[in-house]
Amino acid sequence: MRKLFFAFLILATNILQVDYSYAADIQVITSGAFAEALKQLVPEYEKQSPNKVIISYGSSMGAAPDSIPSRLAKGERFDVLILAAPSLEGFIKSGDLRSGTRVDLVASVMGAVVKAGAPKPDISTMNGLKLALLNAKSVAYSASASGVYLSTELFPKMGISEQMNKTARKIYSERVASVVARGDADLGFQQVSELLPIPGVDFIGELPQEAQKTVLFSAGITSNTQNLDASKDLIVFLASTKAVDTIQKAGLKPALPAIPW
């Protein structure tokens, strides 16, 4: 009977023991639009998973040393990329990301800030936005997806490219709101989720609908990942209803897509 008891005890211990041998360190690099949401979501993910998430940051495009394209070109290894969907598609075509792993996480819109306490121009209409741009002595905008749209599409559409060439400049490797906060620009434009977390500025609103550019930000898994299952698990969490409240508080709109695997 005593032997039977100890045999049962050993069996029960083995059943109850949690196997963490599959835990992985997931290397994620994200562009700025999803950065704040990801920082808030990772602790929640790690509460429900043995996996650990290591976050790096870089812009979706451009040749800045810390941009995602530059870091991949230098041979840095990541498991998951989160960036503007058009740029992510480029990485799928180049073979850097696995085909069939794209998951759209959020939709992001553009907005503007001024230095805290400064007068807030009304940008709720196209005319108001144009006046704000023309009246600003200096304008800052992102060197990533939103800034490319401003300089190559919106400014020409509004007929103010010549004036903006004199007063507006791209910001590399830094948040636009940080430039405005220290007084190096009167007006700053970027994705709303990249503007809201920065102290020292006042958010003045989203661009009017006629000027707005909604950008999808998506996740994909790298072709050389050694943590495929863990990477999929993280993306499923980020795309789930569990992440909705945090995503919305960060100034983003959850996509809640169907998962392709």
Q: At CA 222, angle to CA 218 and CA 228, rounded to 5? A: 100
Residues of the chain falling short of pLDDT 50: 4-20
Same domain, 58 and 103: yes
Question: Do 150 and 94 have their domain in common?
Answer: no
Residue 78 sits in the same domain as residue 199: no
State how far the Cα of 26 lies from the Cα of 127, in Å rounded to an integer: 46
CATH classification at residue 175: 3.40.190.10
Asked if residue 114 and residue 93 are part of one domain, the reply reads no
DSSP assignments along 102-157, one per residue: -EEEEEE-EEEEEETTS-----SSHHHHHHHHHH-S-EEEESSHHHHHIIIIIHHH
Residues 62 and 127 in one domain: no
Q: Using N-to-C axis directions, what is the helix angle for 32-48 and 228-238, rounded to 10°?
A: 110
**CA-to-CA distance for 97 and 77, rounded, in angstroms?**
12
Q: Are residues 70 and 134 in the same domain?
A: no
Q: Do 100 and 115 sit in the same domain of this protein? A: no
Closest CA to 113 of 178, 38, 210: 178
Question: pTM for this structure?
Answer: 0.82
Q: What is the pLDDT of residue 9?
A: 43
Residues of the domain holding 222: 24-107+216-254
Residue where one domain finishes, among candidates 206, 227, 243:
206
State whether 29 and 97 are in the same domain: yes
d(CA 144, CA 190): 9
Tell me how many domains the chain contains.
2
Q: State the Cα–Cα distance between residues 164 and 187, nearest whole angstrom.
A: 12
Please give the pLDDT value at position 3. 52
